[in-house]
Amino acid sequence: MSALTDVAIAVLLGGTLALGLLGVLSALPRWGAPSLERRIAPYVRDVVADEALPAGVLPVVGVMPVHGRRLWERLRELLDRMLGGGDALRLRLAQAGLAQTPAAFRGRQLAWGVGGLLAGAIVVVIIAVSGRMTPPAALLPAILAAGAAIAYDMQLTARARSRRARLADELPTSLEFLALCLSAGESLLDALRRVSAIGTGELTQELRQAVLAVHTGSPLADALGETATRLRLPGLSRAIDQIIAALEHGAPLAAVLHSQAADARDEAKRVLIEQAGQKEILMLLPLVFLILPLSVLFAVYPGLFILRLGLG
């Protein structure tokens, strides 16, 4: 155990020294400055016309590619390729109400994994110094790293699920409010502006983004369609499709919104009934393991007590 203790102390001291040296080197101007290719790329691109460059040199957006990527960016892209799901991850980020890009999310997930790895390494060093090192303990850093990365992904999934539920709950009320504003003589844009200004829920934030997109030059139908595409909430998508169809065909919007609100309420009732049917076993657990044993105990214990006293 003394050899393992010496190795653990050496790893701890060496890791501390390496972190200190890397911190000092990263603060130096030479190490922290952008690469030469990144600095001269905006100027070299204007010298030669895009048409004269070979095919495939420039991306679709017309920006000169820069290959001097950092190690962190390469690790982040590697993690993104390993886990996959770029479109699905972008959908979950939008449903969770986060403004992050999938690359930024993978970077934070990688940071959580590295943090778990360091925490596991510290725990292994402490175990080795205390003289209780065992072979299974060597797997602790990898287990903590994987657990931290999975926990960060599960946190995003839970946040997206809860926000979807809040959006579905707020949809009927928001549609009724929009229908009331339209019945009072306001236009659809004014009604959306009023609802987004007064409301404080998750759906009003999405409507506020749609109104902001209209104010910056986007058509109202395109702004609403982009909201439905980004969230992919069934009730909201149906309502927006009906609103766009009513705008195109000149149908009365107030009646359309009233019917969509009624459909949203019926959908909420149906989902509630389905959840109750799926969780009926869980609903029986308190009855079987708490209420029924207490009832049996209260019924049997007085008789046992009387028999023990010999009064029966």
List pLDDT tens digits, range 125-145: 888 888 787 888 888 888 999
Q: What is the pLDDT of residue 158?
A: 93
Kindly report the pTM of this predicted structure: 0.67
* Angstrom distance (rounded) from CA 231 to CA 254: 24
Region of 55 please: left (phi>0), alpha (psi -120 to 50) or beta: beta
1-28: average pLDDT: 73
Please tell me the least confidently modeled range out of 4-18, 101-115, 283-297. Answer: 4-18
Is pLDDT of 47 > 90?
Answer: no
Q: Is 226 helix (H, G, I), strand (E, B) or coil?
A: helix
Q: Which of the following CATH numbers is that of domain 167-278: 3.90.1570.10, 1.20.81.30, 2.40.50.100, 1.20.140.10?
A: 1.20.81.30
Q: Is 68 helix (H, G, I), strand (E, B) or coil?
A: coil
Q: What is the pLDDT of residue 160?
A: 93
* Angstrom distance (rounded) from CA 297 to CA 312: 19
Is pLDDT of 92 > 50?
Answer: yes
* Angstrom distance (rounded) from CA 185 to CA 14: 74
Would you kindly state where each structural domain of the chain is located, as residue ranges?
1-54, 167-278
Closest CA to 9 of 101, 125, 103: 125
Find the radius of gyration of the CA atoms of the chain.
30
Alpha helix locations (H) across the chain?
A: 2-27, 29-32, 36-44, 71-83, 86-95, 102-129, 140-183, 188-198, 202-215, 220-231, 234-249, 253-278, 280-286, 292-309
Is pLDDT larger for residue 285 or for residue 212? Answer: 212
* Angstrom distance (rounded) from CA 78 to CA 74: 6
pLDDT cut 70: percent of the chain above it: 78
* Angstrom distance (rounded) from CA 186 to CA 207: 16
Q: How far is CA 73 from CA 59, 104, 106, in A?
A: 19, 10, 10
154-169: average pLDDT: 92
Q: What is the pLDDT of residue 109?
A: 87
Is pLDDT of 100 > 80?
Answer: yes
